[in-house]
Copies of this chain bind each other. A is one copy, B any other.
């Protein structure tokens, strides 16, 4: 069965979006549609142009017999900035304030389209980095971790606070919580992470960084390396930051419980992105 160019464009767009960071050979598409490779090449040119113009991402062409095309997510600053600013305004709403100066965030983290967009932004920063797996800690970081991982085409491993029978043998570590200074435990299923993996840590919120520091200690037990740390929100006002090199979309500068005022601004995302390029 032969396919017209218009049909191919629709299906190829869907296919590439569903398979980010995966090398797809021209032969694959050529067989899928019964079309000449030269036509497929032209199709890919059209898709690449549209993807770049619309800030969807980019296509990288790898020449040669083992070559093909790879789709990478890539969000332009002109698309990313208004999105982050809008998110800042949403987070600054005073009705989020909870006792103790905590913020209610589950409405944002529970919204798949917000989480997916945040995931695309964070993933954009790591398209050229070797990443084998995304790691997060249960519970609130999980959706964002999947959103990032699906764009990077890698699995997710979830660190827990308590052991579950469905996890099998685990490796556990103790760590000091950055804010409460209490000793806490976290653990990871042994078979969930291969020795020597290159790991991107993703979480929804970072205060002093104690939890993320704990995850780093856990990675040492697996001889794994930290390829990056990405968070949705960082809290600026902490006595002592335990983690230095991280990426954040949003910075929470101050929470004034008395005046019900939440001060937020854009995180270090754009600075970090420009230093990466």
**Measuring CB to CB, which residues of chain A are less than 8 angstroms from any residue of chain B?**
5-7, 9-11, 13-14, 17-19, 46-47, 49-51, 53-54, 56, 98-100, 102-107, 110-113, 115-116, 138-140, 142-143, 146, 149-150, 153, 155-158, 160, 165-168, 189, 191-192
- Residues of chain B with a CB closer than 8 A to A140's CB: 166
- Residues of chain B with a CB closer than 8 A to A6's CB: 5-6, 9, 46, 50
- Residues of chain B with a CB closer than 8 A to A149's CB: 112
Given A139-B142, A165-B98, A167-B104, CB of A112 within 8 Å of CB of B156: yes
What's the least CB distance linking A148 to chain B, in Å? 9
- Cβ 8 A contact of A50, one of B10, B51, B56, B106: B10
Q: Is the CB of B53 within 8 A of A7?
A: yes
The docked-state distance in angstroms from the alpha carbon of A50 to that of B1 is 13
- Sorted from nearest, which 7 A-B pairs have the closest CB atoms? A112-B150, A10-B50, A13-B13, A110-B155, A7-B50, A138-B139, A9-B9
Given A107-B192, A142-B139, A155-B110, CB of A50 within 8 Å of CB of B150: no
Q: Which residue of A13, A49, A112 has the most chain B CB atoms within 10 A of its CB atom?
A: A112
Given A98-B168, A112-B156, CB of A54 within 8 Å of CB of B11: yes
- Residues of chain B with a CB closer than 8 A to A9's CB: 6, 9-10, 13
Q: Is the CB of A7 within 8 A of B46?
A: yes
Q: Is the CB of B143 within 8 A of A51?
A: no
Q: Is the CB of B139 within 8 A of A158?
A: yes
Given A106-B158, A166-B103, CB of A49 within 8 Å of CB of B115: no
The docked-state distance in angstroms from the alpha carbon of A17 to that of B13 is 10
Residue of B nearest to A57 (CB): B14
- Residues of chain B with a CB closer than 8 A to A143's CB: 142-143, 146, 156
Residue of B nearest to A142 (CB): B142
What's the least CB distance linking A91 to chain B, in Å? 13
Residue of B nearest to A144 (CB): B146
- Residues of chain B with a CB closer than 8 A to A167's CB: 104, 106
